[in-house]
């Protein structure tokens, strides 16, 4: 009888605490609302299960094949990073910053190196202090970014010109944060080049921020699935500071760059010394303001990715020259693409006019395949062949890469700008950096139709755009006599 009562009690207990489907649903909702990292852990677990399933399937399919461990690890790491928040290279949602007076310093500080973005900077600050400039934490950490006195002494300056550099001064803290981050970024990049560590650049830099560069090097990097560590905790804040899709400069619906595009070798101008990085001159918000009606295909991420492969572009000469070149390039592609609206040539009736059948390679993609595409409206089979050869892409046989891959599209525009003389005697790059002025860039691109008094309205439209963009970038456009051809 006692045993039966005990069994009955156990059964009653089990029936009392046995959750039904509704209870389970509310439990999951509660966990999601209260503990965002739980969601990340569940996603990572699902990812692991998929990885193991794929690995098992691959082994069953081919027992004799040796698995590519390095490639698999990189693929899985990338997938996990995307699940946990990505790389922070999206358009900045400034409205999420509690103190709007800090938006400008964040944007300005984030230009100190290529790896850093306003999204990353704001996320780190939020995680560190919740934007409490007076916070004093453990181990002597202070201010918005919770920097130690030792770090601030090395990287802090009087950035707001208050007469005193202070770790508790919001603007001073933000700029010191950026300098320290970029210093770590340079050092982790070198460790990657020396093959002393493995991992993605951003994760390694964030890990170095948290536990020190020496520890990261001693560990050989960070584990692929280092869940709960600082890099993943910070990434959890990225979405908060990322603009909505319709306002973002980098649209995540963009086609993923082709494998051949990512393998593009760096293109440089042997006659020029790159004195700076052009990507630092143009922010995502400035790009969006310049092209308010642009097609989402023309993403800021695609542009900066292409610019990184042409370091001499907007990287030659002093800052004034560099900004003028950037403004000149953007003004010309603005004209060629209708304000970055058109990805392909509008007049389809003319599509068959760009096949030079006299070339030995002909037009293998078809008579109408070499019409204008991209920001500079690349056209003719000869140009597709030359651009493809220079960029390491088979554009002669796959011209649609220029309309399907934003990075490739921007690369073709920069290839023309940096290497082709067109109707001029010099490239657009050498014209603007050598003192020829904006007018000579027009001659290079469309001089046969617009220079020498021809199509003055089109020339004026280019000049107007150049002046407008130069103002945005904070540079004088140059003498009026140099603006037309």
Active-site residues, by number, are 336
Round to whole Å and give the CA distance between 69 and 270.
38
- Which residue matches tokens 């698999």? 72
- For residue 86, what are its two tokens? 């990505």
Buried b (16+ CB within 10 A) or exposed e, 185-220: bebbbebbeeeebbbbebbbbbbbbeeebeebbeee
Phi-psi region of 338 (alpha: psi -120 to 50; beta: other; left: phi over 0): left
Q: DSSP of 269-321, one letter per residue?
A: -TT--B-S-GGGG--HHHHHHH-TT--TTS-HHHHHHHHHT-TTTT-BSSHHH
365/226 Cα distance (integer angstroms): 47
Give the pair of three-digit tokens for residue 335. 């004209």
Structure tokens at 43: 């996603």
Distance CA 263, CA 268 (A): 15
C-alpha to C-alpha distance for 374 and 403, rounded to whole angstroms: 6
């Amino acid at each position: 009888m006692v045993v039966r009562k005990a069994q009955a009690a156990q059964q009653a207990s089990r029936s009392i605490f046995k959750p039904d489907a509704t209870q389970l649903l509310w439990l999951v909702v509660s966990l999601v609302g209260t503990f965002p990292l739980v969601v990340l852990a569940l996603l990572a677990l699902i990812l692991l299960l998929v990885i193991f399933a794929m690995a098992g399937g691959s082994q069953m399919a081919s027992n004799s094949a040796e698995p590519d461990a390095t490639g698999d690890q990189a693929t899985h790491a990338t997938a996990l990073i995307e699940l946990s928040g990505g790389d922070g290279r999206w358009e900045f949602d400034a409205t999420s910053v509690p103190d709007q007076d800090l938006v400008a310093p964040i944007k300005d500080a984030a230009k100190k190196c290529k790896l850093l973005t306003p999204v990353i900077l704001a996320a780190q600050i939020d995680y560190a202090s919740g934007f409490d400039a007076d916070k004093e934490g453990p181990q002597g950490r202070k201010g918005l970014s919770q920097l130690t006195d030792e770090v601030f002494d090395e990287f802090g300056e009087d950035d707001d010109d208050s007469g005193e550099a202070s770790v508790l001064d919001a603007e001073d803290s933000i700029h010191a944060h950026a300098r320290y981050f970029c210093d770590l970024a340079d050092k982790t990049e070198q460790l990657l080049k020396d093959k002393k560590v493995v991992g993605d650049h951003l994760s390694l830099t964030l890990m170095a921020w948290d536990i020190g560069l020496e520890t990261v090097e001693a560990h050989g990097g960070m584990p692929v699935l280092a869940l709960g560590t600082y890099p993943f905790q910070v990434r959890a804040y990225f979405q908060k500071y990322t603009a909505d899709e319709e306002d973002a400069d980098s649209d995540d619906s963009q086609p993923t760059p082709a494998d051949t595009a990512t393998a593009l070798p760096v293109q440089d101008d042997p006659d020029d010394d790159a004195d700076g990085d052009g990507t630092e001159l143009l922010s995502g918000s400035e790009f969006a303001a310049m092209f308010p009606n642009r097609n989402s295909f023309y993403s800021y991420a695609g542009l900066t990715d292409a610019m990184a492969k042409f370091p001499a572009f907007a990287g030659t000469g002093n800052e004034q020259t560099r900004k003028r070149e950037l403004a000149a390039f953007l003004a010309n592609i603005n004209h060629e693409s209708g304000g970055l609206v058109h990805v392909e040539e509008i007049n389809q009736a003319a599509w068959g006019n760009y096949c030079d059948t006299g070339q030995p390679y002909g037009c293998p993609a078809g008579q109408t395949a070499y019409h204008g595409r991209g920001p500079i409206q690349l056209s003719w089979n000869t140009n597709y062949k030359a651009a493809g050869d220079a960029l390491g892409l088979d554009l002669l046989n796959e011209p649609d890469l220029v309309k399907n891959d934003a990075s490739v599209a921007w690369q073709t525009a920069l290839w023309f700008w940096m290497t082709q003389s067109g109707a001029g005697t010099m490239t657009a790059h050498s014209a603007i950096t050598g003192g020829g002025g904006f007018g000579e860039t027009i001659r290079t691109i469309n001089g046969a139709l617009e220079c020498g008094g021809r199509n003055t309205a089109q020339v004026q439209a280019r000049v107007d755009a150049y002046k407008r963009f130069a103002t945005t970038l904070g540079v004088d456009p140059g003498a009026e006599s140099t603006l037309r051809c």
